[in-house]
Amino acid sequence: MRKILVVEDEGKIARLVRDYLEHAGFEVVVAGDGEVALAEARRSRPDLVVLDLGLPGRDGLDVARGLRRVSNVPIVMLTARGDETDRIVGLELGADDYVVKPFSPKELVARVRAVLRRTEAASSGGTEVLRVADVEVDLPRMRVVVGGRPVELTPTEFQLLAAMVREPGRVFTRGQLLDAVHGVAFESYERAVDAHVKNLRKKIEPTPGHPRYLLTVHGVGYRFADA
């Protein structure tokens, strides 16, 4: 049974989310603030975290930073409708998806399942190892090595990189990249893809401001360098 850590300070919302996730077959642990959430993540090692960004005290973005320092656990953020900037920052910190409040519990369950499917797809890629220049993507082990240096990626980042490395030189639109990682449509999907690419560049590019691998095709999307 997959374990989900729900980080939400509003009791009514936390209970609603817990009930729907449990009905969908997940084991659920609830934390009401950031410090408890980080301690619980270390203790119970969840398969996914549902994280409200509007927490009292240590806010959700800080919790996301804390999680990313020690783990690549998938994160689905809960955000207020007007907080697009926080959503983009959260994605750049390594969150995998987001749901905007007020939300449908059924939609949240669908997002959780979609992110977990991406995790499973990334780790069940047969025996294939992709290599372009000095970038190596080991599909079954979800490992990336760049210039002999191992790079830690979230499941969504891994799937996004693998999709482009499979076809170096091909120009992908942002919509095609979302399809490639089996995501649920984002409200501001272009900004979301840009955030993931920005995060990938920070991790794999020697100089993120002057990318060597993940190249922008202006007015279209992105491509992975073929040489």
User: What are 111-121's pLDDT values in tens digits?
Assistant: 899 888 877 76
pLDDT digits (tens, 9 = 90+) for 13-72: 999 999 999 999 999 999 999 999 999 999 999 999 999 998 988 889 999 999 998 888
What's the CATH code, domain 124-224?
1.10.10.10
Domain 3-121 CATH (choose: 2.30.30.90, 2.60.40.10, 3.40.50.2300, 3.40.50.2000): 3.40.50.2300
pLDDT digits (tens, 9 = 90+) for 122-134: 655 555 889 998 9
Asked whether the predicted pLDDT for residue 183 surpasses 60, the reply is: no
pLDDT at 189: 61
Q: Domain residue spans in the chain?
A: 3-121, 124-224
Contacts of 75 (CB under 8 A, 6+ apart): 48, 49, 51, 64, 67, 90, 94, 95, 96, 154
Contacts of 167 (CB under 8 A, 6+ apart): 224
| Residue 110 buriedness (CB in 10 A; 0-12 / 13-18 / 19+) | middle
pTM greater than the 0.85 cutoff: no
Separation of alpha carbons 73 and 165, rounded Å? 23
Asked whether the predicted pLDDT for residue 82 surpasses 80, the reply is: no
Banded pLDDT at 178 (limits 50, 70, 90): confident
pLDDT digits (tens, 9 = 90+) for 95-112: 888 888 888 999 899 889
pLDDT at 184: 46
